[in-house]
């Protein structure tokens, strides 16, 4: 079991007033060694907290006194202090098995931990869930959780997970719902395995056994060139059309029986089937936005200035937890640009050049002229993103804005989402683009300024502007005014 280490202390906070400093290792809180940041939060919520810390090899006590509801003001370096519950399934479609070699070691960790489901929206199959876990979820109110269903037929599910416990572990889903835990479900559809009649049977099983689910995402199999599973292959257009038809048929059934649609097909399915996306209201609040459900309609609404109508959900523990580190997809995408702004970053001179800060923590190296604000613009995006952006950019009153599509050769296969763009692919495409243009890079492909392949924006051959991945930010980066609001009648 590792010890939480303090990585930041807010000036003037109770932690700072008590003398807690960066680098302190927390041995215990009021005599309790926390297992994770969830327990950390509960322990530091008291008006007085005694922390046993180790600093410079010496142990000492720090007593923190704070007002009711006042946060501690200290961030720690991990979410889980004991061992992460790893996954013992061997799913053919698991993307972890499809990663190329040589990436960061942490990317190969295959978890099945309900705590990470609560904290970050990770999906759990519940095959390693226990009575003790259920008791903690209920008593500490760990909701919502995210559960991988894939199939409700026990034999099909066990086959998909390649784990005999897959046939019975959905009993824990029933138990969670019985105790009013909010659960979002997911079905990864593998062509020829759990699509067609099996998918329809699964949706019938959900209505029969788990109608209290908050939402259910149906997403396509992502398969890279590094998969060695013979049964796994991309969808055909006809198969994607069938999935959309099945989902929309069951939306009607759920709407009649439950009063809401419950199940949604991922945006990728509509792109694969070459069909228009459903209207924004069809997504009923975009509860599964992070799982690729309704992202295109959200982006479109933001681009057209209708963000009040389509609000990005901020569900999960990070909406309020004190001390939880920003990891996973909720990590800060860039460390150098304030939220909602963009700034050009990238190499401008050979190694050893000087730098000039142009924003909080954003260095731009001197030695090469920065693109002019009115220079032509290339919007970097993946193939699926290009399909979403094309109709939006076609309607703007600028003829110097173009889409720069970045095919994913790093992963290969059918991987075409913008979040999986890597620096190697972006650099290859940028090298063929003209100098002196502005290049906009969506921050969704970055985590703390680093691509999945370990490269950074500083490694790119052209300066880029990292912009938040939302429609309003893109519109602002293009220098377009927001559309005028309609005049009230």
Give the model confidence (pLDDT) of 67-90 as tens digits: 877 899 999 988 899 988 999 999
CB 149 within 8 A of CB 118: no
Residue with the two structure tokens 């731009």: 364
Q: Is the pLDDT of residue 366 over 60?
A: no
CB 286 within 8 A of CB 465: no
The per-residue pLDDT for 306 is 76
Q: Is the pLDDT of residue 174 over 70?
A: yes
Q: Is the pLDDT of residue 352 over 80?
A: no
Of 128-132, 204-208, 254-258, 444-448, the one with minimum mean pLDDT is: 444-448
The per-residue pLDDT for 461 is 95
Contacts of residue 330, Cβ cutoff 8 Å, sequence gap at least 6: 120, 121, 316, 318
Give the rounded percent of residues in the chain with a pLDDT score beyond 90.
Answer: 71
The per-residue pLDDT for 432 is 97
Of the pLDDT bands very low, low, confident and very high (cuts 50, 70, 90), residue 308 is low
DSSP for 4-51? PBEEEE-TTSHHHHHT--TT-EEEEETTB--SBHHHHHHHHTSSEEEE
Contacts of residue 355, Cβ cutoff 8 Å, sequence gap at least 6: 363, 364, 365, 366
Of the pLDDT bands very low, low, confident and very high (cuts 50, 70, 90), residue 291 is confident
- Rounded to whole angstroms, the Cα distance separating 27 from 4 reads 8
H/E run at residue 196: helix 196-209
The residue that leads in pLDDT, 306 or 27, is 27
442: helix, coil or strand? Answer: strand
Domain at 6-76: CATH architecture = Roll (2.30)
Q: Is the pLDDT of residue 468 over 60?
A: yes
The per-residue pLDDT for 140 is 94
Domain at 95-319: CATH architecture = Alpha-Beta Barrel (3.20)
Residue 47: asked if its preceding bond is cis (omega within 30°), the reply is no
CB 288 within 8 A of CB 294: yes
- Rounded to whole angstroms, the Cα distance separating 317 from 41 reads 11
pTM above 0.85, yes or no: yes
Ramachandran angles phi, psi of 63, nearest 5°:
-105, 120
CB 451 within 8 A of CB 421: yes
Q: Is the pLDDT of residue 9 over 90?
A: yes
Ramachandran angles phi, psi of 378, nearest 5°:
-115, 125
CB 72 within 8 A of CB 38: no
Ramachandran angles phi, psi of 23, nearest 5°:
95, -15
The per-residue pLDDT for 287 is 84
Residue 433 tokens, joined: 């683009």
Of the pLDDT bands very low, low, confident and very high (cuts 50, 70, 90), residue 199 is very high
* Domain definitions of the chain by residue range: 6-76, 95-319, 332-477
- Rounded to whole angstroms, the Cα distance separating 50 from 3 reads 16
298 burial (CB, 10 Å; 0-12 / 13-18 / 19+) is buried
The per-residue pLDDT for 335 is 56
- Rounded to whole angstroms, the Cα distance separating 179 from 107 reads 33
Give the rounded percent of residues in the chain with a pLDDT score beyond 70.
Answer: 86
């Amino acid at each position: 079991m590792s010890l939480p280490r303090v990585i930041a202390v807010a000036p003037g906070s109770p932690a700072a007033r008590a003398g807690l400093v960066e680098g302190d290792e927390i041995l215990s809180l009021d005599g309790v060694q926390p297992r994770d940041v969830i327990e950390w939060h509960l322990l530091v919520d008291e008006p007085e907290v005694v922390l046993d810390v180790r600093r410079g090899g010496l142990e000492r006590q720090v007593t923190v006194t704070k007002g009711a509801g006042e946060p501690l003001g200290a961030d720690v370096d991990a979410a889980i202090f004991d061992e992460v519950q790893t996954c013992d399934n061997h799913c053919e479609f698991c993307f972890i098995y499809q990663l190329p070699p040589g990436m960061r070691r942490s990317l190969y960790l295959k978890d099945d931990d309900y705590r990470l489901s609560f904290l970050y929206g990770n999906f759990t199959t519940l095959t390693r869930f226990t009575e003790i876990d259920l008791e903690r979820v209920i008593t500490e109110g760990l909701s919502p959780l995210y559960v991988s269903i894939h199939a409700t037929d026990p034999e099909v599910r066990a086959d998909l997970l390649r784990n005999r416990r897959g046939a019975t572990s959905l009993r824990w889903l029933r138990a969670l719902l019985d105790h009013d835990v909010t659960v979002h479900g997911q079905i990864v559809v593998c062509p020829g395995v759990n699509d067609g009649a099996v998918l329809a049977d699964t949706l019938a099983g959900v209505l029969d056994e788990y109608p209290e689910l908050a939402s259910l995402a149906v997403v396509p199999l992502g398969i890279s060139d590094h998969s060695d599973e013979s049964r796994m292959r991309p969808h055909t257009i006809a198969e994607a059309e069938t999935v959309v038809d099945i989902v929309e048929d069951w939306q009607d059934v759920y709407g009649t029986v439950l009063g809401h649609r419950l199940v949604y097909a991922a945006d990728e399915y509509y792109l694969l089937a070459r069909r228009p996306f459903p209207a924004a209201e069809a997504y009923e609040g975009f509860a599964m936005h992070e799982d690729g459900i309704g992202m295109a309609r959200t982006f479109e609404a933001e681009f057209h200035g209708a963000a009040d109508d389509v609000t990005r959900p901020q569900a999960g523990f990070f909406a309020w937890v004190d001390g939880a580190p920003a990891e996973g997809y909720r990590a800060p995408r860039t460390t150098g640009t304030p939220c909602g702004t963009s700034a050009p970053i990238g190499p401008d001179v050979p190694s050893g050049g000087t730098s000039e800060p142009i924003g909080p923590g954003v260095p731009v190296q001197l030695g090469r002229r920065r693109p002019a604000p009115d220079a032509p613009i290339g919007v970097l995006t993946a193939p699926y993103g290009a399909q979403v952006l094309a109709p939006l950019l076609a309607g703007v009153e600028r003829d110097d804005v173009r889409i720069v599509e970045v095919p994913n050769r790093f992963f290969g296969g059918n991987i075409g989402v913008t979040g999986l763009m890597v620096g190697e692919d972006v650099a290859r495409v940028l090298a063929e683009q003209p100098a002196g243009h502005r290049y906009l890079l969506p921050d969704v492909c970055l985590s703390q300024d680093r691509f999945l392949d370990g490269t950074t924006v500083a490694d790119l051959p052209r300066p880029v502007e990292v912009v938040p991945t939302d429609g309003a930010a893109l519109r602002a980066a293009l220098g377009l005014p927001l559309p005028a609001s309609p005049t009230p009648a």
